[in-house]
Structure 1
């Protein structure tokens, strides 16, 4: 049973792959994803646009995404 709650597809080009090396790579990927897969990382990577204003305020971003749909004329922009 997997101890992780996400599905990761790992494509490896090498023919000689050992199961323990795959496990090590999956653990490293989960560590990298876990570093940014939280509220703080989400707020750093997004901005909230409200008609003519753009904000990076963490409280406003989190309150906007709590609901299923954003209010009219509000958009989330990814900084990447």
Structure 2
């Protein structure tokens, strides 16, 4: 599996972790993120506010279509449901 190029800030409580143990922790974290950061999970966690049509879009198919566009229309916002 190719490791994604990302910056992670990991706070460790134990000062006595070896370099190999830290690498193992980071690899496990990358594997978890690889499985959870999918377009399906993104569509579940977000919704689109289309202020041009006064609509809130919840369907995964429409959100996926909007996310893959090069540019969003003006006044179309992708918002996290959290």
TM-score by length of 2: 0.77
Count of residues in correspondence between the two structures: 79
Contact 1:35/1:41 (8 A) holds in 2 = no
- Structure 1, unpaired ranges of 5+: none
- How far apart are residue 13 of structure 1 and its match? 3.8
- How far apart are residue 9 of structure 1 and its match? 3.3
Alignment of 1:1-80 (within 5 A): 3-7=2-6, 8-51=8-51, 52-80=54-82
The CA distance in 1 between the partners of 2:18 and 2:50, in whole Å, is 51
Alignment RMSD, CA only? 2.0
Which stretches of structure 1, 4 residues or longer, exceed 3 Å deviation after superposition? none
- Partner SS for 1:34: helix
- Structure 2, unpaired ranges of 5+: none
